[in-house]
Each structure stands twice: as C-alpha cells, then as structure tokens.
A = this chain, B = another copy of it.
C-alpha cells in the first residue's frame, strides 16, 4: 500500500489534509470541538493562535504536533526578512510557547526540538527556512503514516473474527488502520467506545470515525467498561498513548487505567499503540500529569452539569503500569512493555 492508498482508507477526521495543513500562509485544521455536528476548519495566522488552538482542544491527539510544526513554518515566512539573530530569538520564543501547551504529551516537544535543528541548519546555510521546515515536516509525516500502517498490520493480526473491542478516547490512525485492515481481511468486529468525558472524544470523534469505515460501533458512558467486559462482550482492549516511559508505564487519557484494571481482572489483554517510547522519560516519577481547568468538568458541550458553587477536580491523564499491558504495538512489532528500552532507549 502506498501513502495515498493509506490516506484513502482513513475516515474524514484522520485524513492528512484534515488533521493539519499549511495553506496560503495559514495553519489549517479540522475543528475537533465541533465535529461531528459540523465539519468546519479553524485557521491560524500566528503562533499564539496555534498555541491557543492546541490548549482549547480545537485539535488534539495526533494533531497538535503538526499544528505546532506548521506554526513554526508560518513564523519562518513571517520573519524571513529579519536578521538571523532576531529570527533565532523569534523561533526560540515560539518554540517554548508551543511546548508549554501540552506538558504531558512529549512527542510534540520532541518534534519541536528537532524543528529547531532544521531551522538552525537552514539559517547557517542561508537557505529558505520556511521551505526547509515544510519539506522536513512532509518527510516526518510520511514516516509517521508508514509507522501507523505497520502498527495497523500488527494490530489487525491480533484481532480474531467476531472479537468485541474496547477502546478509550480517540486512538486515531493506528486504531482506525487496525480496524480497516482487519475488516479488509474479512474479520467481523464490534467496537465499544466510552464517551470520554469531559470532551467526549469517544462519542464525537472515535465512534463516528469507526462508523464511517463500516465497522459496527456502540457508545457507552465512562462508568460502563467493567460491566461490559464482565458480560463477555470484550476480547481485546486497544488504546493509543500520550506518552510511554522507557520502563513501560502508559500515560493516556484519564480512564485508560481503570479500563485496563477491569480488562486485566477479566483476562482481556490490553494493547497500546505508539510510535516510540520516550527516551527522556525513564519511569513513573518522570511523568508530569497535565491538570486542566476544573470548570471544564462542570460542563458538557457548553451546558452546566451542576451548580456553579460546586468544586471539581480535573486530572487529564492517568498512568497504567506495565503489568497491565499485554503488548506495545510499534513499527518494530508487538513489544513487551518491559523491553522498550532496547528499541527506544
């Protein structure tokens, strides 16, 4: 399969051009806050706008890293006429601003650090920085889609005909690839997606995307996974990860851990997709969990769920220890969570 064929297999939200693109000097992304009620695109003309789009969940999951990189390319176009030293300062400031938007997902930070290398090299060699960045971004996107395809093939190999599948939040391209490839090979599946409060990524993004590729899917609320597993309806549990430490701790959207506990209790294996473990995060202690504004817990799609004077608590991610992880699905195969340092260390 070539990269165009891969893109064609994916649902609307995950097609490369809808996740993020650079167009007419603007960074453009499908607005995931409105989906699936409206298919609208959000456009940014400066770095601050892109940073806020990430913070405000206009884009999420795999989107922010490309939005952030395109924002750097956009900035390169905007500062091209300044002196090199001034340009470097602008890039450095933008880089720090963008990294700050997501303290937990360090993959974006890694890409942004690498972008600084591309920028430095282009400046040193007197090249067009904007063009150099855009060229490099397309290359890493190609590479990423190739890894997704590998993950999809490994993921599909784990699915047996008739499997019930649990997921959480929006596991994006790797999960959708997995389901598309398994379906193509004639396997029947049924997916349960917890709605994933407070932003409802499961209900709004995952379920419509799975439905779009023709796989049966049902939404449940976040208090239901253990019961559905106990009814024998689930044979595999798959999620993505915002971060995996070198010693196999999986950081993902809050709820992933309690589902993994329930799966483990009922003998259902939990598999997690990733493009890489984070070599700068050796263990649980090195993880920083993003605490978001508690007011977001007290709303659902803009409607209040309780009285204004009531307090709330909003940790955005949780940590699943490696003993609950049956396999980490990467381009290198289905790895033990205890063997990641050998590949990514």
Contact = CB atoms under 8 A, between A and B. Distances in A.
A217 B310 contact: yes
A214 B8 CA distance: 57
A255 interface: yes
Contacts of A222: 197, 221-223, 255
Contact of A261 (B192, B197, B253, B262): B262
A230 to B, nearest CB: 7
B318 A218 contact: no
Residue from A227, A261, A319 having most chain B Cβ neighbours under 10 A: A227
Interface string A266-308: 0000000000000000000000000000100110111111110
A303 B306 contact: no
A198 interface: yes
Tell me what chain A mostly uses at the interface: helix, strand, loop, or mixed: mixed
A301 B298 contact: no
Contacts of A306: 36, 195, 200, 203-204, 207-208, 219
A286 B261 CA distance: 27
Interface of A: 36-37, 168, 192, 194-198, 200, 203-204, 207-208, 211, 216-228, 230-231, 253-255, 257-258, 261-262, 265, 294, 297-298, 300-307, 309-315, 318-319
27 contacts: A36-B307, A197-B222, A200-B306, A203-B310, A204-B305, A207-B307, A211-B310, A217-B310, A218-B312, A218-B313, A219-B305, A219-B306, A219-B311, A219-B312, A219-B313, A220-B313, A221-B222, A221-B297, A225-B258, A226-B257, A226-B318, A227-B254, A227-B318, A228-B313, A258-B258, A258-B261, A301-B303
Given A194-B223, A196-B223, 9 more contacts: A195-B197, A203-B305, A218-B311, A220-B314, A221-B254, A230-B257, A230-B319, A300-B300, A303-B303
